């Protein structure tokens, strides 16, 4: 079973509109972290926002917010007032905490977001 | 700029040749990760170093893949006897230890094409 599921392969959004990118995850670990990264065509992965499994409030970073619904295992990214420069691939990722220490991130397949003028 | 640096950015090689990629992490970061990203997929975790110790290597794709971080600073990823299926973007990331939120910062990657 996939650990991170992003159901939207691509999205077209009008400039200045808000956009929600979906992410569901699967883990039995009580302690985990959820991340969103942006990957423009240049290839670099740019960190956007983080949500810890024990965080009581939804994370926010500028125009980015994370709609965290723990019972549904959902961590959707919301971008407010979209801009042309937001056009990119967006990846949801999870870090679990296995015995023995930190491990790498598990990524979803991504959503290709295109902002239209 | 003190971000994660990867070299080369692009590599074209013939099938059967060996290739080596280099990653220079952010200087104060003691954790270093390698990922592979194929077309249309998210990055796939390969291996992880804490300082010079390789703490996770079971995810390396085959025994043709090996990674080193000899002095706990830069790291190299080597692929021996390359195959066409090895064509992908190879990403390196680094993160600090002992912070409340351990965010991995990525380099721009090395794009490998095996012909």
pLDDT digits (tens, 9 = 90+) for B59-99: 777 899 999 999 889 999 999 999 999 999 999 999 988 77
Decide which of A93 and A102 is more confident. Answer: A93
What confidence tens digit (pLDDT) does each residue in A1-42 have?
679 999 999 999 999 999 999 999 999 888 899 999 999 998
- Averaged pLDDT for residues B86-115: 92
| pLDDT reported for residue A99 | 62
**Which chain A residues are closer than 8 Å to B55 by Cβ?**
100-101
Give the nearest chain B residue to A55 (CA atoms).
Answer: B101
Terminal Cα-to-Cα distance of chain B (whole angstroms):
34
Picking from A42, A50, A54, A36, the residue whose alpha carbon sits closest to that of residue A92 is A36
Strand B31-37 vs strand B88-95: parallel, antiparallel, or unpaired? antiparallel
Pair of tokens at residue A23: 């992410």
How many CA atoms does the CB half-sphere of B12 hold within 13 Å? 1
Residues A104/A93, Cβ–Cβ less than 8 Å: no
Written as six digits, the tokens of B32 are: 């270093």
C-alpha A64: how far from chain center: 10
The residues, ordered by sequence, that sit 6+ positions from A89 with a Cβ below 8 Å of its Cβ are A38, A39, A40, A110, A111, A112, A113
Please state whether beta strands A111-116 and A10-14 pair in parallel, antiparallel, or not at all (unpaired): parallel
- What residues of chain B lie within 8 A of the CB of A103, using their CB? 45, 48, 56
What is the C-alpha to C-alpha distance for residues A11 and A16, in angstroms, rounded to an integer?
15
- Residue A7 near residue A110 (C-beta atoms within 8 A): no
- Residue A100: pLDDT above 60? no
Per mean pLDDT, which range of A32-46, A77-91, B95-109 is the poorest? Answer: B95-109
Contact residues for B21 (Cβ-Cβ < 8 A; gap 6+): B6, B7, B8, B11, B76, B77, B78, B90, B92, B110, B112
Q: Which residues of B touch A52 (CB under 8 A)?
A: 101
Provide the pLDDT for residue B92.
Answer: 97
| Closest-approach residue (CA) in chain B for A104 | B45
Q: Label residue A97 by pLDDT band (50, 70, 90).
A: confident
Interface membership of B78 toward A (CB under 8 Å): no
- pLDDT of A42: 87
The answer to whether residue A57 scores a pLDDT higher than 80 is yes
What is the model's pLDDT at position A102? 56
Residue A105 has pLDDT above 70, yes or no: yes
Question: pLDDT tens digits, residue range B15-31?
Answer: 999 999 999 999 989 99
- The residue of A44, A46, A104, A108 whose CB has the most chain B CBs within 10 angstroms, and thus the best one to mutate to test that interface, is A104
Q: Contact A90/A8 with Cβ under 8 angstroms?
A: no
Q: How many CB atoms lie within 10 A of CB A78?
A: 16
CB of B77 within 8 Å of a chain A CB? The answer is no
């Amino acid at each position: 079973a996939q650990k991170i599921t992003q159901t939207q392969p691509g999205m077209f959004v009008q400039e200045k509109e808000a956009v929600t990118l979906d992410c569901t995850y699967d883990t039995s670990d009580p302690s985990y972290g959820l991340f969103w990264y942006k990957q423009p065509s240049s290839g670099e992965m740019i960190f956007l926002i983080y949500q810890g499994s024990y965080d009581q409030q939804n994370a926010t970073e500028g125009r980015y917010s994370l709609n965290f619904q723990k019972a549904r295992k959902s961590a959707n990214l919301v971008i407010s007032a979209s801009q042309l420069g937001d056009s990119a691939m967006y990846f949801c990722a999870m870090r679990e905490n296995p015995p023995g220490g930190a491990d790498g991130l598990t990524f979803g397949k991504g959503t290709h977001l295109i902002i239209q003028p | 700029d003190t971000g994660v640096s990867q070299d080369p950015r692009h590599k074209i090689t013939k099938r059967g040749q060996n290739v080596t990629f280099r990653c220079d992490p952010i200087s104060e970061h003691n954790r270093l990760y390698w990922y592979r990203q194929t077309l249309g997929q998210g990055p796939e975790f390969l291996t992880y170093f804490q300082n010079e110790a390789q703490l996770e290597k079971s995810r390396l794709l085959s025994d043709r893949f090996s990674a080193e971080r000899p002095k706990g600073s830069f790291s190299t990823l080597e692929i021996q006897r390359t195959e066409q299926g090895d064509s992908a973007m190879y990403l390196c990331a680094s993160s600090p230890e002992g912070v409340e939120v351990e965010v991995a910062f990525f380099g721009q990657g090395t794009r490998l094409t095996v012909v």
